[in-house]
């Protein structure tokens, strides 16, 4: 296994994925190189067995699928991740003047970031801008490839108690500094117009987010760590994409899903709780000439891997993890479980995925929250409200989840690619909840 090269490619993937819109654009670039056919939700679909396709919604969620060339009594094998990460969104009226010649940007939190990790870092802006062009309104991607913002901390001389704990006021403490006089009010929109090469008057609206400009790194004297912004969850988006592209399954329909808005609950038109997955799977079934009965039977025999990173044991705070169900970096894929069903794993789905990992010779770890601590959730159980199927929640172990610079293990990147490639290559034959046959 070439752990280092896979991790370096992961870092390039993350660098190109500066917003959820850029993530989808980056995924599309991988698929286009493999001659996937792009479909549109508002157009008719003509699908063929043995061909590969993808579709987007809102340009921030994407579903890709490979139709097996010998499918008849078929099923779906899916892996789902998410395209978004915690950050700060710029409000429509962005500029805040003063004191003096300062201009700050008016932002609000997106998701659940660790606030202080955004201080004193080189920042920029990324997202989409809607502009008027030839009597149409078109969406353009924006990434300003320059350090243009910083959220300055208060000097310790002015806040002597900062190291004793400080609660940030997000309307006051976390506003990024834009200029100290070199630019004037109104120059924010002028800057965006210049970056896009359009007239300022043609800009209609924007979805722009703060981006940490720190470079991702493979580090450690023995190159055992990988650190970067957005490891949660672009590490899973990347590894599942690599596996999906390289694998083939003649008797099933393999599906790659990357949803937006997981960090804010998934309850949007393009989130995991939306109809996006259900609509797409139904349309695949119909376009291939199958009946509604065939679709329901296919879903009943299908399997979902919900891939979203997991907590590694913290080196300074091992007491925060369960005594037995805990994970370490570079020790393999983590299966996540929770009695409150925040994770969708159960004994049945764990058995399926553990068998896949055994066949691919990939180590498996287990994670459960301490019984006296409330954990997070992910997209597996949420997507099941729309498409109910057997599912397992997995992830790769990482430190500092929701920091704007996170850390994971280089070996685990390759472990995930290897296991998910085996998963996509394998015919998983599910019979209710009592019997499974796995055919390589």
Domain count, the chain: 2
The pLDDT of 274-297, averaged and rounded, is 96
* Start-to-end CA span in the chain (Å): 21
Tell me, yes or no, whether 326 and 339 share the same domain: yes
Separation CA 422–CA 247 (nearest Å) = 8
Per-residue pLDDT, 245: 98
For residues 260 and 283, state if they share a domain.
yes
Q: So what's the pLDDT on residue 432?
A: 82
Confidence band, pLDDT 50/70/90 cuts, at residue 381: confident
Alpha-helical segments (H) within 311-433: 347-359, 380-383, 410-425
Sign of CA dihedral 401, 403, 404, 407: negative
State how far the Cα of 158 lies from the Cα of 264, in Å rounded to an integer.
34
Average pLDDT over the chain reads 95
Question: Is 144 in the same domain as 288?
Answer: no
User: Is 164 contained in some domain?
Assistant: yes
Q: Does 286 share its domain with 355?
A: yes
221, part of any domain: no
In a domain, 428, yes or no: yes
Q: What is the pLDDT of residues 156-179, one digit of tens each?
A: 999 988 898 889 999 999 999 999
The CATH number covering residue 119 comes to 2.30.250.10
| Mean pLDDT calculated for residue range 300-328 | 95
Pairing of β 397-399 and β 333-336: unpaired
User: Do 206 and 265 lie in a common domain?
Assistant: no
Confidence band, pLDDT 50/70/90 cuts, at residue 376: confident
Q: Which of 142-146, 207-211, 423-427, 433-437 has the lowest mean pLDDT?
A: 433-437
Which residues have a Cβ under 8 Å from the Cβ of 165 and sit 6 or more positions away? none
| 381 and 359 belong to one structural domain | yes
Encode pLDDT of 6-43 as tens digits: 999 999 999 999 999 999 999 999 999 999 999 999 99
The CATH number for 311's domain is: 3.40.630.10
In a domain, 218, yes or no: no
Residue 73 and residue 203 in one domain: no
The one-character DSSP state at 371 is: T
Q: What pLDDT was estimated at residue 1?
A: 53
Same domain, yes or no, for 131 and 170? yes
Domain, as residue range, for 252:
3-85+229-439
Q: Does the residue 107 lie in any domain?
A: yes
What confidence category does residue 58 fall into, taking pLDDT thresholds of 50, 70 and 90? very high
- Domain match, 238 and 365 both: yes
Per-residue pLDDT for 377 more than 80? no
pLDDT digits (tens, 9 = 90+) for 220-258: 999 999 999 999 999 999 999 999 999 999 999 999 999
Final residue before a domain boundary, out of 156, 183, 212: 212
Pairing of strands 303-307, 76-82: parallel
> Is residue 217, in this structure, part of any structural domain at all?
no
């Amino acid at each position: 296994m070439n752990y280092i090269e896979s991790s370096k490619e992961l870092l390039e993937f993350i660098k190109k994925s500066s917003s959820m819109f850029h993530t989808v654009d980056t995924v599309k670039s991988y698929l286009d190189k493999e001659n996937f056919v792009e479909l549109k939700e508002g157009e008719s679909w003509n699908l063929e067995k043995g061909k590969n396709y993808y579709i987007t919604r809102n340009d921030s969620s994407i579903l890709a699928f490979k139709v097996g060339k010998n499918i008849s009594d078929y099923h779906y094998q899916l892996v789902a991740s998410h395209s978004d990460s915690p950050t700060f969104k710029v409000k429509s009226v962005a500029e805040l003047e003063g004191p003096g010649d300062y201009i700050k940007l008016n932002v609000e939190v997106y998701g659940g970031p660790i606030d202080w990790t955004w201080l004193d870092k080189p920042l920029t802006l990324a997202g989409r801008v809607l502009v008027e062009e030839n009597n149409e309104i078109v969406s353009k991607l924006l990434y300003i490839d320059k350090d243009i913002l910083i959220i300055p901390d208060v000097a310790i001389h002015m806040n002597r108690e900062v190291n004793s704990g400080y609660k940030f006021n997000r309307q006051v403490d976390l506003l990024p500094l834009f200029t100290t006089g070199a630019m004037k009010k109104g120059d924010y929109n002028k800057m965006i117009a210049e970056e896009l090469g359009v007239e300022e008057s043609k800009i209609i609206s924007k979805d722009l987010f703060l981006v940490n400009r720190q470079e991702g790194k493979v580090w450690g004297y023995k190159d055992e760590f990988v650190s970067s912004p957005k490891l949660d969850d672009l590490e899973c988006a990347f590894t599942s994409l690599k596996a999906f592209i390289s694998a083939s399954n003649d008797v099933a329909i393999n599906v790659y899903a990357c949803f937006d808005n997981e960090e804010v609950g998934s309850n949007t038109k393009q989130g995991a709780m939306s109809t996006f997955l259900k609509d797409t799977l139904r349309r695949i079934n119909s376009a291939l000439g199958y009946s509604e009965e065939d679709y329901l039977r296919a879903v009943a025999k299908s399997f979902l891997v919900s891939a979203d990173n997991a907590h590694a044991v913290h080196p300074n705070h091992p007491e925060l993890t369960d005594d037995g169900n805990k994970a370490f970096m570079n020790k393999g894929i983590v299966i996540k479980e929770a009695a409150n069903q925040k994770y969708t794993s159960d004994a049945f789905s764990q058995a399926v995925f553990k068998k896949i990992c055994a066949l691919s010779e990939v180590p498996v770890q287990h994670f459960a929250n301490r019984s006296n601590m409330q954990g997070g959730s992910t997209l597996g159980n949420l997507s099941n409200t729309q498409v109910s199927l057997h599912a397992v929640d997995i992830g790769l172990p990482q430190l500092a989840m929701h920091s704007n610079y996170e850390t994971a293990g280089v070996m685990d990147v390759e472990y995930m690619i290897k296991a998910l490639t085996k998963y996509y290559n394998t015919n998983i034959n599910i019979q209710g909840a009592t019997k499974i046959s796995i055919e390589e």
